[in-house]
Amino acid sequence: MSRPNAESRPDPWRSPVIVAQIPDTGVHRKLEASAAERLAMAEFAGLREVLSAQADLEIVPKSGGRYQVTGSVRARIGQTCVVTLDPIENEIDEEVDLIFAPEAEARRLADLIEEGRDDEEPPEVVDPPEPIANGIIDLGRIATDAIFLAVDPYPRKQGVVFEAEVTAPDPEDHPFAVLKALQDNKTGKKKGK
């Protein structure tokens, strides 16, 4: 789940969990983005504003050093209607279900999945696990990514429909209109002589 220029900008909402400290029973976290984090999220995503952002996530250890992150992310965002240019608000409610694996294994599995996609009959698409970077799973980044992926890129005010202005074609407007005009002028001069 990497975003464009994710390397050049810090994540706007962070909530790192150190994998080595996750008990066998797992970890449950309820997160709420602060005003500063919401402002950074809005700026990062080009939104008018992020009014609220919460996440309710659980990390459960799996075999082979893998971890499953499940839960939900909710947000209320302010956008601008692409038709009326009025400010509008949209609700986001996304489910999260991701597998994380140590970086080397995540890379290896991603390569195997990519090689498998060259087959004649593509199998059901399987996403590779997310890499565990520096022994940390960042729940804030997971929540931010879920919100950003759910943002409507063309938000519209409820009930508003874009209607393109349709004009009837001018019968005199066609590729040979200039030739016809020249011919009409020529014919008109002959009759007038």
The per-residue pLDDT string of the chain (193 residues; one tens digit each, 9 = 90 and over) reads 444 444 456 789 999 999 999 999 999 999 999 999 999 999 999 999 999 999 999 999 999 899 999 999 999 999 999 888 999 999 999 999 999 999 877 777 767 767 655 555 555 556 789 999 899 999 999 999 999 999 999 998 888 776 666 666 666 676 777 777 777 777 665 555 5
Instruction: Report the DSSP pairing between strands 49-61 and 27-32.
Output: antiparallel
Q: Residue 105: in which H helix or E strand, if any? A: helix 103-116
141, HSE (Cβ side, Cα atoms, 13 Å): 18
Report field, pTM of the whole predicted structure over 0.85: no
**What amino acid occupies position 123?**
P
DSSP-derived secondary structure letter, 153: S
Which residue, chain included where needed, has tokens 């983005």? 33
Instruction: Report the DSSP pairing between strands 130-132 and 49-61.
Output: unpaired
- CA distances 23 to 70, 103, 132, 135, 148, Å, are 16, 20, 16, 14, 30
C-alpha span between 119 and 172 (Å, rounded): 56
